[in-house]
Amino acid sequence: MFTALLCLVFTAGDGLPLPAFSQDEWTILRSMSPAVLLPDKTNKYEQNESAALLGQHIFFDERFSSNKEVSCATCHEPDKYFTDGVQIAVGTGQTTRNSPTVLNAAHQRWFFWDGRTDTLWGQPIQTMEHPAEMNIPRKDIAELIEKDKTLGPLWEKTFGSMKESDIDTIAANVAKSLAAYITKLDASHAPFDDFVAGDKEAISPSAQRGLQYFIGEGGCLRCHFGPWITDGAFHSVGVGPLDGGALKDSGRAGAIDKLKSAQFTASGIHSDDPDGIRATISKHIAKRREDWGSFRTPSLRNVAKTPPYMHAGQLATLEDVLEHYSTLENFVSADHHRETILEPLNLSEQQKLDLVAFLESLTAPLPEKGLLTAPD
Ligand code: HEC
Ligand code: HEC
């Protein structure tokens, strides 16, 4: 209380007041930092070094695509914070969604914009076999690894002889290796975290005002909360399709059936924790009316580095995102469902600048250099 009063008398360099955070606000801030990854028990190779090394090799290797031109890094480029900078991803064909970053991806409960996968290792084989992404069948993936003079021995060291495994177990282990590599891609310590830890100058006065608005009046916290600044759930914020008109992408609604019929899941036979909490939650998931046209709330960590925004890259800049929340002018309702908790915020120019400054304070340095290219 006393400190709060003291802070009020200081003004920021730009002549505007430096916000004082109340005890309640500090409680919220402490719930947003630090961000720490929890282990994924469904992948027993998650912390295995040779699995991660194998995953890193595969991640950067264009041979794992039908035209030998596409690797995971084509759409998840390290120097673009593991995104590609385009609206809709292009691989061996044209996809329909924006490439999210894989930095910190391991923190998630659900993967992909619609959450159609419930483990990190459930994702890669879908991508590799997808006609528009890498378009390579699992038996070709296995053959490439087995015959390669670097990957073959690394595989044996990690998983034993390929000859003794069936093709689906091989595919699951390829996926678990990629997940082990991605789990190392941690970029979660930003200036914002130093601010919460007590360094008052870690973020600018403008960022502090943006933060106060974000957790208060702006209502952003209703969906973007906790250390990863997301509720991990699915909502519609009314951003329409790239070519205008009504929503076409069914989002979360289309994902539930895919999740139930997917091969590589937390509860499936290739999981290393089929009776655990992840598996149990997935088993009880049911379709809800509001799922149609909903997408996963993205983590806002490193968001300033990953334009364009939203599930189809519809919004080019952070300013555009804020303009959307400010006016809701082009709000496209998902038919029978409208997210009633969103109201136009009518942001002033200063409030937009402050919010952008706050979002920029969530940028962490990239992981160590050795993880940003194919291994030597
Ligand atoms: C053609 C571009 C492209 C390629 C190649 C590609 N990805 Fe992706 N990736 C995407 C897109 C687009 C999404 C989101 C798809 C969706 O939500 O439907 C995605 C989603 C993901 C996710 C989920 C992230 C999240 O936040 O849920 C992970 C993890 C991932 N990719 C890893 C990989 C790995 C590993 C490879 C290589 C085996 C790979 N990607 C290859 C475009 C690509
Ligand atoms: C009702 C829940 C909800 C609220 C409230 C909300 N968001 Fe979001 N936010 C989302 C969802 C869901 C998406 C992704 C939507 C999509 O792709 O269609 C998103 C996307 C974003 C993105 C783009 C991230 C990316 O990687 O593409 C930013 C930035 C963002 N929100 C910031 C904010 C700010 C700032 C506020 C407060 C002014 C806010 N959000 C309020 C749910 C919400």
Which atom of ligand 2 is nearest to 251's Cα?
18
* Residue from 169, 61, 148 nearest 160 by CA: 169
Measured from the Cβ of residue 340, the count of other Cβ atoms closer than 10 Å reads 6
Say how many C-beta atoms besides its own lie within 10 A of residue 214's C-beta. 22
Q: What is the pLDDT of residue 303?
A: 98
Q: What's the sign of the alpha-carbon dihedral 233, 238, 244, 250?
A: positive
- Ligand 1 centroid to Cα of residue 344, in Å, is 32
pLDDT for res 223:
97
Using DSSP's 3-state secondary structure scheme, residue 177 falls into helix
Return the structure tokens found at 149: 């003079």
pLDDT tens digits, one per residue of 115-159: 999 999 999 999 999 999 999 999 999 999 999 999 999 999 999
| Domains in the chain with CATH codes | 2-37+190-257+263-360 (1.10.760.10), 49-187 (1.10.760.10)
Residue matched to tokens 């419930």: 118
Q: Which residue has the tokens 């528009």?
A: 132
pLDDT reported for residue 56: 98
**What pLDDT does 8 receive?**
45
Take atom 33 of ligand 2 and give the residue whose Cα is closest: 220
Whole-prediction pTM value? 0.95
Distance 298 CA to ligand 2 centre (A): 7
Question: In whole angstroms, what is the distance from residue 31 CA to residue 27 CA?
Answer: 6
Identify which of 259, 105, 269, 255 has the alpha carbon closest to the alpha carbon of residue 188.
105
Count of all residues that appear for the chain in the document: 376
> Which of 56, 84, 102 to probe ligand 1 with, by most ligand atoms within 8 A of CB?
102
User: Within the chain, which residues score under 50 in pLDDT?
Assistant: 1-9
90 forms beta bridges with 94
- Of the ligands numbered here, which is closest to the C-alpha atom of 95? 1
Ligand 1 nearest atom to the CA of residue 55, by list position: 35
